[in-house]
């Protein structure tokens, strides 16, 4: 069972974000954030990664591992934060097996949201 947060904005279809550790965020870091349209967070993480490159070699590898772990752990939170900056409200958390199941549960509970995507 996975958890999805629902982010709503007037006259737009809902955005569902899967919560939990993201391997893609851990591996690709700021590129993953840019792909998910989290521009501010992606720029901040990219800048932090550039600063990590200034560390001496033994510390650089440890800092890179920590940065990757932190991105995997908190990357989805940064995407949610970015959606909040763009005016999305987060009224629901849904537990479902996968994204289509989460969307079906959301539209069953709130049928008026299904009409937005049409």
Helices (H), 1-118: 23-28, 30-35, 39-52, 57-85, 99-109, 111-114
Tens of pLDDT, residues 64-85: 999 999 999 999 999 999 999 9
Tens of pLDDT, residues 17-39: 999 999 999 999 999 999 999 99
Helix axes 39-52, 57-85, angle to 10 degrees: 170
What is the pTM for the complete model shown?
A: 0.85
């Amino acid at each position: 069972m996975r958890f999805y947060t629902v982010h709503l904005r007037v006259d737009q279809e809902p955005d569902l974000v899967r919560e939990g550790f993201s391997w893609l965020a851990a591996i690709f870091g700021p590129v993953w954030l840019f792909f998910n349209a989290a521009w501010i967070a992606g720029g901040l993480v990219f800048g932090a990664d550039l600063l990590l490159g200034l560390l001496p070699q033994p510390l650089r590898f440890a800092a890179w591992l920590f940065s990757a772990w932190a991105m995997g752990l908190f990357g989805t939170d940064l995407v949610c934060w970015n959606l909040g900056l763009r005016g999305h409200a987060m009224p629901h958390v849904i537990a479902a097996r996968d994204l289509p199941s989460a969307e079906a549960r959301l539209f069953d509970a709130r049928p008026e949201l299904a009409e937005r995507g049409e």
